[in-house]
Amino acid sequence: MEPKLFIAIVDDDPSVLKGLARLLRSHGCAVGPFASGHDFLKSLAAAKPDCLILDVQMPEMNGLELQARLAALRVALPVIFITAHKDEATRQLALRGGAAAYLHKPVSDEPLWAAISAACQNGAETAVRAG
């Protein structure tokens, strides 16, 4: 039996957190929902997720800032951005920063699950090569 993926979600919208968590659990994933980047960073000492789904627009620390903070901490973690704002410059920044995918809200099941599967597989292959 394959190990259960642990997917973290960081989004300041409670309805998005709840909906994504429900969707991912239906795929057999363990889910860690976080309302802010600060809450997520505090949790990293306890458990490292296989993948991070990250909103772009959030108060205090936006998604790009969290992505940069993770890079500065040398946390190798596949990041999938989701956003309601279509801004090509932000998309390019996210992808240049190493994002595995950049999706628009509302995100449907198939593209999200395809992005998670690819990101987790690529992350595992990178960890094996690096190890």
Share above pLDDT 90 across residues of the chain, in percent, rounded to a whole number: 78
Q: Is 48 left (phi over 0), alpha (psi -120 to 50) or beta?
A: beta
Across the range 93-99, mean pLDDT stands at 94
Average pLDDT, the chain: 89
- Give Rg (Cα) of the chain: 14
pLDDT score at 4:
87
Residue 130 covered by a domain: no
Residue 122 covered by a domain: no
Q: Give me the number of domains the chain comprises.
A: 1
Please tell me the pTM assigned to this model: 0.89
pLDDT score at 3:
62
Residue 123 covered by a domain: no
Across the range 9-38, mean pLDDT stands at 95
In angstroms, the CA 66 to CA 80 distance is: 12
Residue 60 covered by a domain: yes
pLDDT score at 125:
42
Higher pLDDT, 46 or 6: 6
Q: Which residues pair with 82 in a beta bridge?
A: 55, 103
Residue 120 covered by a domain: no
Share above pLDDT 70 across residues of the chain, in percent, rounded to a whole number: 91
Taking only the tens place, the pLDDT of each residue in 73-84 is 999 899 999 999
Residue 83 covered by a domain: yes
pLDDT score at 85:
86
Domain residues for the domain of 38 are 6-115
pLDDT at position 127 over 80: no
CATH of the domain at 18: 3.40.50.2300
